[in-house]
Amino acid sequence: MQSLYLLIYLLNLVSTGFLVTPIPIKLQTFKEKKQLIKNFTQCVEWYNNWVSDNNFGKLYSENDIDQTSLLENSKFTQVSEEFRLLF
């Protein structure tokens, strides 16, 4: 029975856009990436240069990354609490 609740919960996360697929992918937040990738800032600079050179994509400032991290953390905390309440 818990499996059914979990599936419904995961499908709800997909329908709201929080997850891309019903299979959660770990280590996908900016915070997690920054912790694992030693040259994260340099990677963002390279990415931003590529976006500028190709006029395609979104440029990310340090503020954008910080705001995204806060939003991701807020959503993760909310989802974790909702999941905990299911069981």
Highest mean pLDDT among 21-25, 47-51, 62-66: 47-51
Angle at 20 between CA 43 and CA 17, to 5 degrees: 105
Spell out the domain ranges in the chain: 25-86
Of 42, 31, 23, whose CA–CA distance to 71 is shortest? 31
Provide the pLDDT for residue 49: 96
Least confident of 22-31, 32-41, 58-67, 70-79: 22-31
Asked whether the beta carbons of 59 and 51 are under 8 A apart, the reply is: yes
Provide the pLDDT for residue 50: 94
Work out the pLDDT band at 86, boundaries 50, 70, 90: low
Distance from C-alpha of 53 to C-alpha of 12, rounded to nearest angstrom: 38
Work out the pLDDT band at 25, boundaries 50, 70, 90: low
